[in-house]
């Protein structure tokens, strides 16, 4: 059997980390959507550097709501999807609506927040344009309070009532080989009229999505590893890797893998006007504080959040992480780089908002496996 041809329309694209993971698994980008000018700039620049063309229907720098509220934009997207459906076996939507309003560390504004309502907008777009499948990515905070969980459950019910069978999981990037403790909710849906009956369990639940098949590690495996704790900070000091620690899940492994010292973004890091001596007092591996967190070279990183209230320090250098190092922690290919003409704050925001590349790739492989198996039936 020939390999399935699967096309995707990407929404809330950001710099394209999620898209890259799906592209690596053979999903063909047909259109991307991003309203933030800096994110869009990185998307275009990084693809040019990697030798990747823009999607067939381009990068649309506008709000997702425009495709629902403006008739001309709605008609255009319907036309693009209809045209693509004649050339592809499946055409789907992939997107991760902005999530700070659901973040555990955020203000918990939820669906009423500045960005929280965009999750509903994305679901409305799925119901309006009826792609063959969709992927919805968001933070674990959607599950952590009764109010947020009720909102998430309502989103799932809405797509099910619109004719989709769904399944979802809370996944950790560590399980896919990312040296970062980052959990994400992944919701997957397929239109029931595109499925064989055996793929649907009950009325609207997808059966046998192979969530674990592409995971390199499990929570049990990672939890039993005797990770190193803390060591006194020594500038450029040497520290041998414990034999029991899997190297590929460590910060140092990714720094070396991505050649961060010679990467084009190697010198992109904040130089403090004050507080340098305070930084030096934090042990390597002391990530217990809310603000300063010094990474351990032979351990994975906390969630890559690089805002003003959370400062990640280099394991053995007296400074904050560089852009190149942050990209490595997001498991991006070493050829991925950010443009020199956006601010440092914008660069770190871009990185922190993205989905780790290997998590995206693992999720894409999972869904392709499911669709391929369905196509064989």
Q: Which helix (H) or strand (E) holds 32?
A: strand 27-33
Q: What one-character-per-residue DSSP string does 289-325 give?
A: SSSEEE--TTS-B-----STT-EEEPSSSSSBPPHHH
Place of tokens 């050649």: 259
Answer yes or no: 99 catalytic: yes
The two three-digit tokens of residue 157, written as one number: 């019910």
Handedness of CA 36, 42, 48, 54 (dihedral sign): negative
Whole-angstrom CA distances from 177 to 172, 190, 214, 357, 361 are 10, 27, 10, 10, 11
Among the listed residues 25, 99, 204, 291, the single catalytic one is: 99
Q: What is the DSSP letter of 255?
A: H
Spatial separation of the C-alpha atoms in residues 46 and 337, rounded to whole Å = 6
Spatial separation of the C-alpha atoms in residues 165 and 189, rounded to whole Å = 5
Sort residue 177 into left (φ over 0), alpha (ψ -120 to 50) or beta: left
β-bridge pairing 205-206 and 200-201: antiparallel
- Burial bucket for residue 361 (CB in 10 Å: 0-12, 13-18, 19+): buried
Spatial separation of the C-alpha atoms in residues 57 and 31, rounded to whole Å = 5
- Residues assigned a catalytic role: 99
């Amino acid at each position: 059997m020939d390999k399935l041809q699967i096309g995707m329309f990407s929404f809330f694209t950001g710099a394209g980390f999620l898209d890259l993971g799906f592209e690596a698994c053979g999903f063909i980008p047909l259109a991307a959507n991003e309203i933030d000018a800096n994110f869009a700039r990185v998307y275009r620049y990084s693809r040019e550097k990697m030798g990747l063309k823009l999607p067939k229907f381009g990068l649309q720098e506008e709000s997702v709501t425009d495709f629902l509220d403006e008739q001309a934009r709605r008609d255009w997207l319907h036309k693009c999807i209809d045209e693509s459906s004649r050339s592809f076996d499946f055409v789907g939507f992939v997107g991760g609506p902005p999530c700070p309003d659901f973040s555990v560390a955020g203000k918990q504004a939820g669906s009423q927040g500045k960005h929280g309502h965009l999750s509903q907008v994305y679901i409305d777009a799925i119901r309006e344009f009826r792609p063959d499948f969709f992927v919805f990515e968001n933070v674990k905070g959607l599950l952590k309070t009764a109010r947020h969980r009720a909102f998430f459950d309502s989103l799932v019910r809405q797509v099910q009532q619109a004719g989709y069978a769904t399944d979802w999981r809370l996944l950790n990037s560590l399980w896919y080989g990312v040296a970062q403790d980052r959990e994400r909710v992944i919701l997957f849906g397929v239109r029931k009229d595109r499925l064989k009956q055996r793929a649907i369990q009950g009325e609207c639940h997808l059966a046998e999505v192979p969530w674990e098949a592409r995971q390199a590690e499990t929570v049990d495996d990672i939890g039993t590893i005797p990770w190193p704790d803390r060591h006194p900070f020594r500038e450029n000091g040497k520290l041998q890797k414990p034999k029991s620690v899997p190297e590929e899940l460590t910060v140092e492994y990714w720094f070396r893998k991505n050649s961060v010292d010679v990467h084009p973004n190697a010198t992109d890091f904040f130089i403090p006007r004050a507080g340098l001596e305070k930084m030096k007092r934090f042990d390597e591996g002391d990530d217990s504080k809310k603000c300063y967190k010094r990474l351990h070279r032979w351990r994975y990183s906390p969630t890559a959040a690089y805002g003003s209230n959370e400062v990640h320090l280099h394991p053995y250098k007296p400074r904050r992480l560089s852009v190149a190092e942050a990209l490595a922690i997001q498991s991006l290919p070493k050829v991925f780089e950010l443009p020199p003409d956006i601010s440092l704050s914008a660069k770190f925001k871009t990185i922190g908002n993205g989905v780790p590349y290997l998590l995206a790739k693992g999720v894409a492989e999972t869904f392709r496996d499911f669709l391929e198996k369905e196509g064989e039936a």
